[in-house]
Structures are given as structure tokens and as C-alpha cells.
A and B are shown apart, each in its own frame.
Chain A
Amino acid sequence: MATDKSGLSRRDFMKGVGGALVGMAVGLPATATAKTTQAGKSRVVLIRNQDVVLGLRENDADLLRRMLDEAMMSLFGLDSPSACWTHIIKPDDIVGIKTNVWRYLPTPPELEQAFRHGALEAGVADENIAIDDRGVLQNEVFRRSTALINSRPMRTHAWSGVGSLIKNHIMFDNPEDYHSDACADLAKLWDLPIIRGKTRLNVLVMLTPQFHNIGPHHFDEEYTWPYGGLIVATDPVAADAVGLRIIQQKRRLVFGEDRPLQPTAHHIALADTEYGLGNASMEKIELVRLGWQEDSLI
């Protein structure tokens, strides 16, 4: 195969050359040659509760906070939420909580406040904590930040396959610069000086994920469902990979066939195979399941 001419082609993925994970992302079977550049396994905690979702954009705040606490204790192997926060945040940190304001499925405000509370619990001064999305580059706290918390809901997206944790950092640069090839190179964002090495916690919100689009950009709650979950990890690629599998499985169930995302969310696999940002292969993910197990889809 002349991969130098085609970059990575569909046939390369069929053959397992240079990225079987991407082949999975484009709807092709995995091959035995799949490898990642990550040395160890990534722990990912999937916690669910069937009572947390009260409606679209409406959640039980106390329950959501307890889910986050429990997931963090499992993720870090510590026995209290405050121990977890002091494990990842130091009192002299300047903390940016990167959320997502998309009006149909924003990061839940009650989760944002749980992050703020956690940073305060770790001893961070209130004025050194900020919550922002589109204004991060103008936000003085984010510009000075030493630690980031990254959280957003997962949803299908007409240009990148899914809106992911990896993609959520796009507002730290000019978004258009990352749009080529279905946002294939989003992982590059994570090497920007304002981001590199700072993201201490990633929380993929799966309370009411969106599994299908209407046309290029419209939304209808018909294509969401009350999954009642949070996916919590330090590895954003691993968290996204788990979320993506849940979305794809939901699509199989609803549509009655294996219907790949359009476009495919290959930026997640490429974050592993080309950028070494994290683990996208389930063989490299230690998935911890907490709470409600029914219809977990993974």
C-alpha cells in the first residue's frame, strides 16, 4: 500500500497498518496487530445511578455529587473525596474548570460546582478558581492556570464524530485550525503550553448522552437517553474510548444495525496511535463499574 500517497487509507485500516484502532473507529473489524504507544493500563471509572437524571439538563445535584465522590475514590484508590482532591490539586494551584456551554447539553452546573467545591476543599483560594468554556483564552485564571479539570457531555457531532473530552480543549486555540479530516488531530491541543501536563481530572458526562444528529447541527431530545452515568479518568483518551463504545452500542440497538458515526470519531483512536496521549484500546483500559449496571451497553 502506498500509504505515503494516501496518508492512512481505508485499506490500511483493513490490513491493520498504522492504526487498527482507527479501523475500528471507521467501522472496520479490529486486527491482532493493534498496538498503542501507552505503557500501562488506564483506569476508567464508569459510575451510574438510575435516579440521578430528572430530565434533560435536570439532575439530582446531591446524587451527582456523591457519584463524583465515589468515582474519584475508586479512581485514585483513596478513602475520602477530600483525599482525592488534595491528591490532584495543591493549595497553591490555579485551577481552570473547563466545561462546555452547548445550550442543549451543557456540562451540568451542579457538576461544575462540585468541581469548584473540590478545589476549595484542596485549599485553593476562591479567586484562583474559574469555570469557563469559550472564554478561556481571555480568562485570567485560565491564562495563569497550573491545573485543569476537564468535563463535558458526550454527543454525536457532525464534524468530529463525537464531542469528546479530547475535543473539549479546542477553545484553548483557534478551533478552525483543528477541523481538517474530521478533527483528526485534536490531540495536538493537549501539547499546547497552556494545557500540557495540567489536566488532572477528566469527567465525561453520560447523564443523557446524544447518540444521533438531525442534519448537520440540529438537536432533538429523541436522540438522547437517560443513561445516568459519569466516566471519570485521568486519561482523556481512555474515557472517550469508553464513552464512544457506549454511543456506538446505543446506535446499534436503536437502528438495528451497525451504523457507524458520520463522520467517524477517529480523533480518539489517533490520540492514542499517533499522539500517545492515552489509551484507546479496551485491552489497555481497566474499566471499573460502579452503581447501576442494567443496560450499561459496555
Chain B
Amino acid sequence: MRKLVTALAVLALSSAALPGCGGQESDGSLTAVVDLLPEHIDTWTRSDSAVTYDRETIFDYINGAGEVYRSYAFSQVVVVVYSSADDPDITVELFDMGNAADAYGVFSYAKESEESGLGGGYERKGRVLCFWQDRYYVCAASEERTDDSDRVLMEVARAISERMPPASAPPDLVALLPAEGRVAFSERFFHLHQSLNYNYYLARENILNLGPETDAVLARYAPVSTFLLLAQYQSESDAAAAASSFKQGYLPDSGDSQTLETENGKFTSFEQRDRYLVVVLDAESETAANDLLQATLNRLTQPPQ
């Protein structure tokens, strides 16, 4: 995916010139990002200091889980605290993910539910509310849970959302997933094989040749835990090379067939089409594997309107 490569290149240049990501005059500058966070929201007042972490310093903030953000075009996160006399503090993290697809990607990374009506979608769990909008991923977390936490978090999130560019749709690749049988909220958008392994451990090595320049979406299908992976490469030859690598690395005993029953009694099937590679994993039967594969291929040739 070129956007990610470009974002990384821009980040490298800007980081070299402006350590700490401060004072940039581009749209991604600290000033521009902080301006998305209102100074006052109802009775809450934003802290004077905003702490910023970039791709190198993100580990200082969230340890190894920073790799999740670094697996996308993440450039910086700005952290502020909203305080009110009568209520627990609210910490807001505003992640600049470089582009809208990657903002969706990190939102989808571990989501268990999704609601509409705020940005491109939001998820509320415990005392945390996260949403994505344009190229931003935003999380608001209350220091303590109170009876009023849900309302307060939503109020803060809405005030921030209103300052942002309009919400965009999820990446096109997500829309190519067949709807029939897809488990709700199971879609994951990513680039790297580590991210694939997070949701479906395939192999230690990168046998699908995934990388920053590839887009991939994984989803789970009912009635059993069948997984569908749809990867988009930069070129048809890249996709063909990935298909060959996958066959050699995962299905070397499949002969001329592109479908095989694996050791768990389930079926894996794959096919390359143009710049795409479709892989069905752990289908209950050969027919089920091929049906899901074909349904996906059909959508590649007749994309949704």
C-alpha cells in the first residue's frame, strides 16, 4: 500500500528535521493535531500540556503494544487529560494513523463490537470509548468508572469528532468480503504477517509475502470458525509470487489442487486473481471452502456498488 510507504517516508524526513514531532507546519503537526482537542468540553478542561509520542517513543507510553500501532502508518499520538472538579479525569489519546484505512485498521485490530453514530464507528468497553474518523483513531478513558461514565465519554468523543474531517468508509477491501455467513465485527484490516498471526496463527515466517505495501483483510465465517483472508498486492506478479509461496510453505502436499484437507480435518483453499490472493482456512468441507472462495472471487470481478 503506497500510502503507508509514503507516510513512513514523510515521517522519516520530518523526524530527522524536527525531533519529537513538534512544530511541524503540515496537517500532521502537533499544533494541528492538538487543535482537534477542544480546550473545554462542558465542565471539563484540557490539560495545558499535551504529551506526544512518535513511532520511536511510543514504547515509552504503552510498552510492546506500541507495535500494534507501528504495524500501520502511525505517526504520532497526542495524550491530554481533561479534568473536572466533580468527576474523574478523562485521558484522551488521539492517534494520527497516517491515513483513513489505517485508522480503520487499528480500530478493527481487536474490536469485539461496533456501533455507528460517531465517526466511522466506535466501540465502548468498560471505561474506554474508541472511535476512528478520517485518519485519526481516538480513545477516551475515564480514570474511574461512574454511573455517568458512558454519557461523559460520549460527550467528550463527540466534541472531538466535530472538529475532525468527515468520517470515511472502511477500506474498499473490506467491502469485497462476502456478507453471507460473516461473523459480525470479525473483520480485521492490516498489512503485516504479524497482524495476521495475531488473529490467526498461520506460520512463523511470512509465507504470504505480506508487508507495508500490501493490504489484507481477515474475517471469520459461520457456522464454524472458518477464516477468509483477502490480500491485495501491488502487482499481479506480486500476488502470483505470494500464491506460490503460500503453496510451497503451507500446502506443499496439495499437488495440482489448490484445496487440501489439513491435519485438523478441515479444508484450506486458495486462488490468485489479478492483484488479489484469496485464502480460505479451516472450512468444514471441501465444498464449503470452495464456495466461500468462489463467492469472494465473484466479488472481485463484480465489486459492490
Contact = CB atoms under 8 A, between A and B. Distances in A.
Given A1-B252, A9-B204, A159-B67, A218 B128 contact: yes
B203 to A, nearest CB: 4
**Most-contacted residue by chain B among A5, A7, A176, A184 (CB, 10 A):** A5
A214 interface: yes
Interface in B65-122: 65-69, 106, 109-111
Interface string B121-152: 00101111010000000010100010000000
Contacts of A221: 126
A83 interface: no
B203 A6 contact: yes
B201 A216 contact: no
A128 interface: no
A213 B264 CA distance: 29
B201 A264 contact: yes
Interface in A213-239: 213-218, 220-223
Nearest to A23: B201
Given A157-B65, A216-B69, A5 B248 contact: yes
Contacts of B199: 262
A9 B249 contact: yes
Interface residues of B, number: 41
Contacts of A91: none
Contacts of B126: 214, 218, 220-223
A184 B125 contact: no
B94 to A, nearest CB: 14
Interface in B170-211: 194, 197-199, 201-205, 207
Interface stretch (A10-18, A40-48, A114-122): A10-18
Contact of A262 (B67, B69, B110, B263): B110
B53 to A, nearest CB: 12
Interface residues of A, number: 42
B262 interface: yes
B64 interface: yes
A181 B196 CA distance: 10
A265 to B, nearest CB: 11
B253 interface: yes
A220 B249 CA distance: 40
B204 A7 contact: yes
A220 B128 contact: yes
A216 B139 CA distance: 11
Interface in A187-213: 213
A61 interface: no
Q: Which residue, A6, A26, A176, A262, has most C-beta atoms of chain B within 10 A? A: A6
B51 to A, nearest CB: 14
Nearest to A26: B201
A95 interface: no
B62 A217 contact: yes
B203 A9 contact: yes
Contact of A158 (B65, B139, B250, B252): B65
B250 A9 contact: yes
A175 B56 CA distance: 12
Nearest to A8: B204
A215 B66 CA distance: 12
A281 B207 CA distance: 29
Contacts of B194: 180-182
Nearest to B62: A217
Contact of B68 (A28, A158, A181): A158
A32 interface: no
B301 interface: no
A179 interface: yes
A41 B111 CA distance: 40
A263 interface: yes
Nearest to A17: B263
A28 B63 contact: no
Contact of B204 (A27, A157, A181, A214): A181
Given A5-B249, A175-B59, A28 B110 contact: no
Per CB-CB distance, the 6 closest pairs between chain A and chain B, nearest first, are: A220-B126, A7-B204, A14-B263, A9-B203, A6-B249, A216-B68
24 contacts: A5-B249, A6-B203, A6-B204, A9-B203, A9-B250, A11-B263, A158-B68, A159-B67, A159-B68, A175-B63, A175-B64, A181-B204, A182-B197, A214-B125, A215-B125, A216-B62, A216-B69, A218-B128, A218-B130, A218-B141, A220-B126, A263-B197, A264-B201, A266-B201
Given A159-B64, A175-B59, 8 more contacts: A157-B64, A182-B198, A183-B64, A214-B128, A215-B128, A216-B62, A216-B68, A266-B201
Interface of B: 59, 62-69, 106, 109-111, 123, 125-128, 130, 139, 141, 145, 194, 197-199, 201-205, 207, 245, 248-250, 252-253, 262-264
